[in-house]
Amino acid sequence: MAMLGAFTASATAQTIVMPQNHGPTDTGCLVKGLDPNGDGFLALRAGPGTEHAQIGSLHNGDAAFVYGSDNGRWLYVENGALDGKEAKFRGWIYDAWCEFYP
């Protein structure tokens, strides 16, 4: 499996905040609706909120498995597909650009 290409050496050393309700769910997030004329990516962060470091990015068409939340709009995700290829990653994303699926 490929690692998330946007990780850097400093980001991999970043401590990931784990959700209290961590565990597999039947839900996934298909990233949709990002403006290609804007920044064009959904930030993968070390914790739930923009104050946490960005450790990667997802783009329209990428998918991630949901493993928890902050009981708000932030989702803890692990692994999925990036650019159509299976990938290993973990972190937090904001749910506004998710099309949820089981």
Q: What is the Cα–Cα distance from 29 to 101, expressed in whole angstroms? A: 6
9: left (phi over 0), alpha (psi -120 to 50) or beta: alpha
Q: Which two tokens stand for residue 4?
A: 């998330």
pLDDT tens per residue across all 102 residues of the chain: 344 444 333 344 579 998 887 888 889 999 999 998 888 999 999 999 999 999 999 999 999 999 999 989 999 999 999 999 999 999 999 999 999 998
* Domain assignments of the chain as residue spans, ordered by start: 2-101
Q: What is the Cα–Cα distance from 95 to 25, expressed in whole angstroms? A: 15
pTM of the model: 0.83
From 3.40.50.720, 2.30.30.40, 1.10.510.10, 3.40.50.80, which CATH number describes the 2-101 domain? Answer: 2.30.30.40
